[in-house]
Structure 1
Amino acid sequence: MTLVEVKRPKLAPAGMRLGDVMRVGAIGLRTRPLRAFLSALGIAIGIAAMVGVVGLSSSSGAELDRTLSALGTNLLTVTSGTTLAGEAAQMPKDAEAMIERIGPVQAASAVAKVSEAKVYRSEQIPEAQTGGITTYAARLDLLATVGATLRSGTWLNQATERYPAAVLGSAAAQRLGIGSVSQDTQVVVGGERFTVVGVLNPVALATDLDSGVMVGWPVAEERLDFDGHPTTLYTRSEEAKLEAVRQVLAGTANPEAPNEIDVSRPSDALAAKQATSQAFANLLLGVGAVALLVGGVGVANTMVISVLERRAEIGLRRSLGATRGQIRTQFLAESLLLSAIGGAGGVLLGTAVTMGYALYSGWPSVVPAWATVGGLAATLMIGAMAGLYPAIRASRLSPTEALATP
């Protein structure tokens, strides 16, 4: 009788479904909640920093766009420069009228610095304590041209421009201790008392006016020894032809010496300020990335310790038929879950900080979708990298070696 050897087919271990992977991966988190919380917190801080920085930067940019939309980006400023000898140049008296003849120019207004007219709250103030306040002779259409608004009182009109009436810039009013105006509110300008009829809000596109006191053009010529030469011209032009106007402004304002005229675009200063803020935001973003990396190291440390503490569990599972791939998947899933929890918490925290600060500052609240999605993706990538080595190390433990470990 011949014995025939019958080979039994090898049964492949059953694959783990996604739900099983998640449940097995969560075992380590449930059994060691404090350690899991602290590791997730490191990830959350890094993600919150990144989302918060991106959100605040985007919200600031949205506020800048809103401000520029309200004020307009078509304002050009023409100022007196210096002569070839290095002395202060003087703009012609008819510069404003000549600029108004440029076709695309929609509005033009002028101010003139009256250097000798010092401003004081009263005659008892020492002459040296000027507070850095400048007196300006101003045209009536200045307010509309530069987009300024009144905080209190009224602007100059055809009646008050000929009499000792003054409008204070926001910073000048603060330095003089004047919060609002009344019939009895007066300041001393050039040795004469002027009645304060208005106070301006901060002027975003003409910040020099914030620390100035504006008086009428005729009264400045009559009482403050003003010579009638403007020092700064503000022009509004058609947006499509703005650069063309910019090229001819200097030659139009002073045909005999265009090199003594400076032309600038105030909105460019705001954009440069935003670019500086963006550079600072990038620096903070780098700090957030470092915090995220530190959080990843914490996750890796937690997973390595978890493998060392659970050698008996790994040996038992291996002896019951778990494959190396299943052990590897278990610990990798645990690392990914830990990072995902921290990432989700960080996104929520960063979004809450952005919304809170934007609401406090009166900004639009903007959190780009790519920041939240990118933050979660970064946490998963960090989690995978942090958990890969511990998972491989756990899968390489033989059942006998793991069970023999005390």
Structure 2
Amino acid sequence: MRIATLPARIAWRYLWAKKSHSAVSAISIVSVVGVAVATAAIICVLSVFNGFKDILTDTTDLLAPDILVTPARGKTFADADSMTNIIGKIDGVKIAMPAVIDNALALYDSREMPVTLRGIVPKEYSRMTAIDSLFVAGSFFTNDASDREVAVSVGVAQQLGIGAEPDGIFLFAPKREGRVNMANPMNSFLTDSVGISGTFQSLQHDIDENSIICDISIARNLFQYTTEATAIEIETTAPDDLSSTAARIRDRLGASAIVKDRYQQQEANYRMVSIEKWVTFLLLSFILMIASFNIISTLCMLILEKQSSMSTLIAMGMTRRQIGMTFWWESIYVSTAGGVCGVVIGLALSLIQQHFGIIKLSGDPSVMIITAYPVVVEWTDILVAFLPVMIIGLATASISDAYARSRAAKL
């Protein structure tokens, strides 16, 4: 290997030369190993967080619309059917569907619980989502009986004790107008009795916990709506370019609506994963910084060991600056060696886990979404992992340079 400068060439020789004290060699190895382990850990952890982010995306894709439109003011769109027709004509919109989503009370066989009632248009909802494939019992309600049947989530089925052959379920919602009759409180509620077509599991906790899906006519009758809707759900012709379609919808609707694409709907969850990822990165970078102290101690011992060589080099005409740069390069070599080894090890471990899933998650596999730690290697993370190695390497190199110059000044 040809190295341009004299200090760099001497440092390269020092790196591979046998040390007179075995302790210096041992600490040098420990320094490289420490940096390598910390770098490998950074790559592995970042890859795991990438995997969890992909799992989050996959699960939200099952039922979440490409774009969700909600009122900017108030709870409902007054004429949602007309607005749906307007949105349906916008370039990039494939399907636009009104939805009524609100809270209700469900009663089944003397058991009751608060639920989130999701009124949708069955045919369009089936085309927009993967609802047909999510049923663990029964099926999505048929078109012939859609206005008198509902689908319940696994959380509702479990809490209400709904079995394989369920009876009808009662739904209650408070009347929007009028006073509460304290003598007969039930007069203040609207009630509907519907059949149960099946039980679904979406793999999203907020939906599986307490959701009931029904035809929009059931929800409108229960909540005393006519043409109103609380949201408009949209499927686009270009799922990979949601931002452009969302922008066109915003321009068309103006300030009357809030338009969110699929990622903005889950913004809090994505932000949480991102924060956890980068906080962990900072913690591991701190561990890497601690590991770099071994590099400083190694170089200090090497400087003391090479004092006689330094005297010879000074006598031959090398300046103190060149002496300092020799150990500056030595620090860079050690840091780079540890960083490169760590990248190779971390990349190898991550790819093995990504393709073979060797490290398993604890728990019952029959009820788990995944059984092994998810890993997705992103090449940008390799650069991110190597960045603190080089920053810390430059810092330790500067310290080594200053110490070597101070020792050379005393010779």
TM-score range, shorter chain: 0.5 to 0.7
Aligned partner of residue 303 in structure 1, secondary structure: helix
- C-alpha distance in 1 between matches for 2:275 and 2:54: 16
Cα deviation digits, residues 352-393 of structure 1 (max 9, x gap):
565577654545322325336546544643453343244335
Paired position in structure 2 for 1:8: none
Aligned partner of residue 169 in structure 2, secondary structure: strand
Report matched runs for 1:360-371 at 5 Å: 360-362=372-374, 364-368=376-380, 369-371=382-384
- C-alpha distance in 2 between matches for 1:40 and 1:282: 24
Paired position in structure 2 for 1:189: 170
Give aligned pairs, total.
355
Paired position in structure 2 for 1:102: 89
Match of 2:133 among 113, 138, 150: 150
Report matched runs for 1:57-72 at 5 Å: none
Match of 1:124 among 95, 103, 110: 110
**Is the 8 Å Cα contact of residues 91 and 231 (structure 1) preserved in structure 2?**
no
Taking a change above 3 Å as real, the CA distance of residues 18 and 66 of structure 1, as seen in their structure-2 partners, is farther
**Is the 8 Å Cα contact of residues 43 and 379 (structure 1) preserved in structure 2?**
no
1:342 to 2:328 alignment: no
Taking a change above 3 Å as real, the CA distance of residues 304 and 196 of structure 1, as seen in their structure-2 partners, is same
Cα deviation digits, residues 62-116 of structure 1 (max 9, x gap):
7778889x78998332335655xxxx55633744664466353421223324644
Taking a change above 3 Å as real, the CA distance of residues 288 and 192 of structure 1, as seen in their structure-2 partners, is same
Paired position in structure 2 for 1:112: 100
Taking a change above 3 Å as real, the CA distance of residues 390 and 285 of structure 1, as seen in their structure-2 partners, is same
Cα RMSD between the aligned structures?
4.8
Paired position in structure 1 for 2:70: 79
- C-alpha distance in 1 between matches for 2:288 and 2:262: 39
- C-alpha distance in 2 between matches for 1:62 and 1:123: 40
Paired position in structure 2 for 1:388: 401
1:138 to 2:120 alignment: yes
Paired position in structure 2 for 1:246: 250
- C-alpha distance in 1 between matches for 2:349 and 2:253: 46
Taking a change above 3 Å as real, the CA distance of residues 133 and 338 of structure 1, as seen in their structure-2 partners, is same
**Is the 8 Å Cα contact of residues 324 and 396 (structure 1) preserved in structure 2?**
no
TM-score, with structure 2 as normaliser: 0.64
**Is the 8 Å Cα contact of residues 46 and 288 (structure 1) preserved in structure 2?**
yes
Match of 2:28 among 32, 36, 47: 36
Report matched runs for 1:16-35 at 5 Å: 20-24=13-17, 26-27=18-19, 31-35=23-27
**Is the 8 Å Cα contact of residues 119 and 188 (structure 1) preserved in structure 2?**
yes
Paired position in structure 2 for 1:253: none
Cα deviation digits, residues 6-47 of structure 1 (max 9, x gap):
xxxxxxx9x9778744432x5268554543344335434553
Taking a change above 3 Å as real, the CA distance of residues 324 and 356 of structure 1, as seen in their structure-2 partners, is farther
TM-score, with structure 1 as normaliser: 0.65
Cα deviation digits, residues 160-180 of structure 1 (max 9, x gap):
3144x33234654565577xx
- C-alpha distance in 1 between matches for 2:118 and 2:300: 72
Taking a change above 3 Å as real, the CA distance of residues 265 and 209 of structure 1, as seen in their structure-2 partners, is farther
> Counterpart amino acid of 2:127?
A
Paired position in structure 2 for 1:160: 145
Task: Extract unaligned runs of 5+ from structure 1.
Answer: 1-12, 251-257, 399-406
> Counterpart amino acid of 2:133?
L
1:268 to 2:280 alignment: no
1:297 to 2:293 alignment: yes
User: Once the 2 structures are TM-superposed, how far is the Cα of residue 156 of structure 1 from its aligned partner?
Assistant: 2.1
Aligned partner of residue 36 in structure 1, secondary structure: helix
- C-alpha distance in 1 between matches for 2:21 and 2:139: 67
